[in-house]
Structure 1
């Protein structure tokens, strides 16, 4: 049968100058364990620095009163009462080193850990996070002990479920409550970029002073969804909105599914409609709807949405009676919406309605000065998600930043790419530290993505790639498209003269003397290609 091993962390309250206080603290823990059907065989007292004499006397008195219990003494990690987020890592490292070296023997002992509740709560979080990260198997005794209150009835024996993430969330909440409107808007969006900050300044004014739709556009991963949610939170903080935030990805919905999702439906409106359902526009009454990929709404449904947007009234699918909803709208797209209008894929009148306030969010490669702060942000997000606190070793961070800020890192997926990169490194970290080896492996991974992307790009320029191979990477995208088109004509034509007549049909009409073959040869030669090479394809 295993022995019951209790680890006692003495708090400052239990280390009063009077040794009787520490004795009563330890005695109360033992009594609490016994009352919880835990027969203590060993109690390991971790006293604070400078309290060894008191601890020695306490151990002697405990041995006399509890001769059946083995008493162990050691100086424990130092508690602090003024811990905040900035120096948390120092405290966490202290507890980590202590417990990482502790000689746990699960074959012989069941472990119990006493944690006091007192002012320095962050110490408790550091301990619990350490136990969680090191996968230490023990039960927690949580008590509230002060030198003024040693009544046994104030103690309890229970599981302890405080997570490190809870502390971070509390810190974030307190920070957000004290922020100005602009800082609040930027709280989850880490930026020092002048252009991006200018955009945020405008959005803050629009969010607080206008109820008209906002259109956010930019490449995938630039942060449209996050910004939409933050705009909603700002409006709600300012009392502009009181209702729900609703998010819809329009690319996942078509036909009746889209109509039903946005406008709702009655029972029996279509096959499978077993009951009535409120649409998301109704759910967002006095709130905000974010329509991501708004250009994916079919033209046939765009008129219905425009009417609902203008009148704030609409018919659920299958209904004879209109419903009303006072919702606000933010739309997002990664397409050139003006081009979609020109192609007939998007209604001009709908664009005019949703595009009163249009903001283009720049890609990460155009604001690389934001990468360092976003690395810290993504590490914090990883901790919130996994309760594992991870950070870079200094040289590893220097190496990663050197790559991340270079031209080799294009961040095609923008913040999604950076977030994925940080998560991969955090997952492979050792003892909460991202090492140079982990960074080097990640850089290789990111470079392999670039190679694969170039391979996919080459599929768009098969003739050019077959002629130039890897040299294609040195040609601008504009020239690639032009040159590929010229080469396609060259392949089909029987002679350079025929190619010249096709390519220069307009300009040759205004010239007294034409020399199309010379122009063609000169153009091809400027890119290192000859007519003979083309004929061999």
Structure 2
């Protein structure tokens, strides 16, 4: 059996008393040793120097009621029991030097006595495991003077032992993650892990975040969701303020961000607070932060670190306590190396950095986003639009294929869904509407100067089942070969085009035969290819 050890602070009022009358009074520290069902092997009693006499008296009284309890008194160099810093520092030093032996001893931290500051510090240090034990709360009997030691209660701060609390915390985290994803059941494992960590960080930290990723990947959307999450948890009560730094130029950049005083420059007819002050107690999202000038970067660093800055033309600093989220599609580490971004600012905003993958890297998330974007589009056009089964399958087959480039990421997908919803007759997106949209996207994504030719549809060429059995490498290679054959008059002409370099090394090149054998590997003939053309 482990030994039971109580650690508590002497209460100058509750534990005090003189003469024999003190035994008629409920004294919390002494009462703990009077419980018949509670064996206390050791009592470590903490006190400050003015209470030395009382500490000696309590030691004797506890020994009198419980001879088997070892009482050790510890004088702390405490100047003011109501000063948080002083109390916490003394208790921290005590805990650091105390020879805890958790294998052989159980520790109960008594928080009934001492000033409220002492009780709070004991709670915090037990929660942080500086005191590796449970909290002990005692209370007096209902009627004084009858020798009853009162009651005591243990409070175990290990939340993992409380199933209901653990379930509520888990449910709250699940709700937070769902809020960040707008309720979309995304399937990409990498993205989901990132969102779970962001939820955890957002709930615990006000440090800057850096969201990296290509244009349209959802940085602005995610920043606003982080704000909404923190707002629901009462961590922010200000506004969400957003600006794309690529739109800021010259004096207007500093004025927009930091504000200006009247007359700061030509045209400054009135004072302007600036976005940093507008974001006070809220969240400031600076998209494309890599576009900021070096002077503005220096001012921003001061504002982030010190929460104060000088408006343009001003002599007095102003304050703004905001949380910063920065977004960029640039590699800021390279920008630092090139001298275009301040290293100290990069270090300050690089604590929590997340890279949002492009839509093409998350093809499994296109389908879960489809219904969400359709609902948005329906709200914009004023009626409910839905795919039929065939059109949905056709669009998803194209949207998740290697030929779908999604250059603008979610902006492209949102625009595509909006177009189909707008063109839907009676709210039904039919196969012709989906096919026309697929053609439009292919046209939009073609490289400048290239023929307006649709990518090779391997499903149509090989059949869906055979195409699904190909590795991505083989798919890309076959698509390129078939595309190169387009416009060629013969098998030999296509072979010369495809093997233009290697054929020069052969004494008797047979380009047509090489191409025929390659196509045969996929059960294709020249007629199949020519038929496509």
| TM-score interval, smaller chain | 0.5 to 0.7
Closer, same or farther in 2 for the Cα pair 1:204/1:335, shift >3 Å? same
Q: By how many angstroms is 1:255 displaced?
A: 2.1
Q: By how many angstroms is 1:263 displaced?
A: 0.7
User: Is 2:378–2:385's contact at 8 Å kept on the other side of the alignment?
Assistant: yes
Alignment size in residue pairs: 295
Closer, same or farther in 2 for the Cα pair 1:306/1:455, shift >3 Å? farther
Whether 1:220 and 2:221 are equivalent positions in the alignment is no
User: Is 1:228–1:330's contact at 8 Å kept on the other side of the alignment?
Assistant: yes
Closer, same or farther in 2 for the Cα pair 1:321/1:188, shift >3 Å? farther
Alignment of structure 1 residues 274-353 onto 2, 5 Å: 274-353=269-348
| Mapped partners of 2:446, 2:418: distance in 1 | 21
What secondary structure does 1:278 align onto? Answer: coil
| Mapped partners of 2:392, 2:505: distance in 1 | 44
Whether 1:241 and 2:230 are equivalent positions in the alignment is no
What secondary structure does 1:265 align onto? Answer: coil
Whether 1:378 and 2:373 are equivalent positions in the alignment is yes
Residue of structure 2 equivalent to 1:439: 434
| Mapped partners of 2:194, 2:318: distance in 1 | 36
Q: Which stretch has the larger CA shift, 447-456 or 189-198?
A: 447-456
Residue of structure 1 equivalent to 2:88: none
Alignment of structure 1 residues 19-418 onto 2, 5 Å: 180-187=175-182, 191-418=186-413
Closer, same or farther in 2 for the Cα pair 1:217/1:246, shift >3 Å? same
Cα deviation digits, residues 119-145 of structure 1 (max 9, x gap):
xxxxxxxxxxxxxxxxxxxxxxxxxxx
Could you tell me which runs of 5 or more consecutive residues in structure 2 were left unpaired when the two chains were aligned: 1-170, 452-476, 482-498, 507-533
| Mapped partners of 2:245, 2:332: distance in 1 | 15
TM-score computed with the length of structure 2 as normaliser: 0.52
| Mapped partners of 2:183, 2:207: distance in 1 | 23
Cα deviation digits, residues 144-170 of structure 1 (max 9, x gap):
xxxxxxxxxxxxxxxxxxxxxxxxxxx
| Mapped partners of 2:260, 2:503: distance in 1 | 60
Alignment of structure 1 residues 415-426 onto 2, 5 Å: 415-426=410-421
User: Is 1:224–1:332's contact at 8 Å kept on the other side of the alignment?
Assistant: yes
Closer, same or farther in 2 for the Cα pair 1:524/1:348, shift >3 Å? farther
Closer, same or farther in 2 for the Cα pair 1:428/1:198, shift >3 Å? same
Cα deviation digits, residues 22-42 of structure 1 (max 9, x gap):
xxxxxxxxxxxxxxxxxxxxx
Closer, same or farther in 2 for the Cα pair 1:180/1:335, shift >3 Å? same
Residue of structure 2 equivalent to 1:8: none
| Mapped partners of 1:430, 1:346: distance in 2 | 51
| Mapped partners of 1:342, 1:182: distance in 2 | 36
Residue of structure 2 equivalent to 1:82: none
Closer, same or farther in 2 for the Cα pair 1:226/1:330, shift >3 Å? same
| Mapped partners of 2:419, 2:357: distance in 1 | 25
Which structure has the greater CA radius of gyration? Answer: 2
| Mapped partners of 2:505, 2:444: distance in 1 | 29
Say what the alpha-carbon RMSD is for the aligned residues.
2.8
Closer, same or farther in 2 for the Cα pair 1:276/1:366, shift >3 Å? same
Task: Provide runs of 4+ in structure 1 moved above 4 Å.
Answer: 176-179, 526-530
| Mapped partners of 1:528, 1:269: distance in 2 | 72
| Mapped partners of 1:202, 1:184: distance in 2 | 14
Cα deviation digits, residues 81-114 of structure 1 (max 9, x gap):
xxxxxxxxxxxxxxxxxxxxxxxxxxxxxxxxxx
User: Is 1:188–1:230's contact at 8 Å kept on the other side of the alignment?
Assistant: no
TM-score computed with the length of structure 1 as normaliser: 0.52
Residue of structure 2 equivalent to 1:138: none
| Mapped partners of 1:305, 1:528: distance in 2 | 61
| Mapped partners of 2:406, 2:284: distance in 1 | 29
